[in-house]
Chains A and B, each alone.
Chain A
Amino acid sequence: MSSKPKVAFYWCASCGGCEEAVVDLAEDILEVVKLVDIVFWPVAMDFKKRDVEALPDKSINIAFINGAIRTSEQEEIAYLLREKSQLIIAFGSCACFGGIPALANLYSKFEVLNDVYIESPTVDNAAKFLPQTTSIDNNGKQIELPEFYSQVRALDEIISVDYYLPGCAPTPKLIANTINMLLGDNLPTAGSTLLPDIALCEECPRKDSKPTDLSITEYKRICENLVDPEKCLLAQGFLCMGPITRSGCEALCIKGNMPCTGCLGPTSRVVDFGAKAVSMFASLSSGKNEEEIEKNYAQVMDPVGTFYRYHLSKSLLRGKLERGI
């Protein structure tokens, strides 16, 4: 066996974008491959669970896990990798905060399954079958299938995580930097997020165009308005999460003339991304009575979806409180 560090990749509840991001390293991936041994990467290579089980405990140096935890299968692999790995990296916003899948925490498990398997217009399921946890295979043998949990969880709600690299998806540059850092001698403090602890405005190219006396009379939706490509998006009345979100992405979305949606998560001093977003956007708005104020927010159609787009699992309230089973 080679003495190169062993690396594992796994995906849980995610879109696959994070896997894509690794591939996006392009030629650089060859450099990586030179340096490490990949021992588990279901998307790209044919390893089985039993191969990992066969490894001695803590024999994997670094395991990158992307995606949130929604099923018992994802949970199981997360445990397995935790046992076998020295460092677990929560890779991407879903693993770090629950990500987009966590918005399902506004609905019950039944509502989700019903919508996907029965109500959806593209589904033909007259018998109204829903996923089961047991089934009989062709040989008449009962097999166990993964359970779909009622809750989407971030990785660290299941296992302890050593480092976080949020992003939807993390940029190739961040990935390369992270790998280099982890292979180096100076490891950052355990539990830290591998991004600058300063908000995105710091590196935003439109920073100077933001006025100091901002007072917004009506928040606008990006889909219904023309966007000035030079001016601070928040100053234009768009709900740009830049001030709340960590920097590190080099303001990619803003360079694409789209407001930041907050995928890199909050800085270390913020407890709850959405609450802080509410506080800031409300503070920047005007209005001296309830009517005027309500008007400011009329276009904020979906506060939870907007302010917790990636963070609902790790928010203080975690999801809708009464939502059945």
Chain B
Amino acid sequence: MSEQNWEPKIIAFFCNWCTYTAADLAGVSKLSYAPNVKIIRVMCSGRVDPQFVLYAFANGADGVLIGGCHPGDCHYSEGNYKTLRRISLLKKMLTQFGIEDDRMRLEWISGAEGEKVKTVINEMTENIRKLGPLNIPEKFITWDRELEKRNRGSEYKLRV
């Protein structure tokens, strides 16, 4: 995709009980928001393995949004605290990889906060639009271009 008509691609992990419900509520309330966020339903934000986040980035996501219940209101009691702990260590690590803080966002959105789904999605889309594309798959291709200089027969195999 050319830089010009590039649109931020954001993957969201929403917990079934609060944030996914809030996104449904936003739908029922016909709130209009940016189409850039695609939602994956998990039962609890505690299910979100940092591997998922990196996998999303590695496959071309420009941002990852995680939505859970407010602290103290987790349907599973404390899953959201575990998410907070993981995300804060993961962020520390992502900085070293050169991934900007705004590309990963953790938000507490209760089932009643359809409006907040809209605000957060719009805000995040705009923030990432400002940061520009991350486009890791493209980067990998660029990195591996140095290997193409040589002719290396049938066994040649690229990672991506």
Interface set of A (CB-CB < 8 Å, partner B): 72, 75-76, 79, 82-83, 106, 147, 149-151, 157-160, 270-272, 274-276, 278-279, 281-283, 285, 287-290, 293-294, 296-297, 300, 302-304, 307, 315-323
Contacts and interface: CB of A to CB of B under 8 A. Distances in A.
B157 interface: yes
B130 interface: no
23 contacts: A106-B96, A150-B143, A157-B157, A157-B158, A158-B147, A159-B157, A160-B157, A275-B49, A275-B53, A278-B90, A282-B85, A285-B89, A293-B85, A293-B88, A300-B89, A300-B92, A302-B96, A303-B96, A307-B93, A316-B57, A318-B143, A320-B96, A321-B136
Contacts of A300: 89, 92
Contact of A279 (B51, B92, B159): B51
B150 A275 contact: no
Contact of B150 (A72, A279, A316): A72
Interface residues of B, number: 38
A302 B159 CA distance: 27
Interface string B86-100: 101110110011110
A239 B118 CA distance: 40
Contacts of A275: 49-51, 53-54, 90
A83 B153 contact: yes
B89 A303 contact: yes
Which secondary structure characterizes the binding site on chain B? Answer: helix
B89 A278 contact: yes
Contacts of A304: 93, 96-97
Interface in B103-130: none
Contacts of B157: 157-160
A321 B134 contact: yes
A282 B86 contact: yes
B38 interface: no
B81 interface: yes
Contacts of B143: 150-151, 318
Interface-centre pick from A288, A318, A319 (highest chain B CB count, 10 A): A318
B114 to A, nearest CB: 26
Contacts of A319: 97
Contact of A79 (B57, B58, B155): B155
Nearest to B99: A321
A192 to B, nearest CB: 18
A150 B140 CA distance: 12
Interface in B38-66: 49-51, 53-55, 57-58
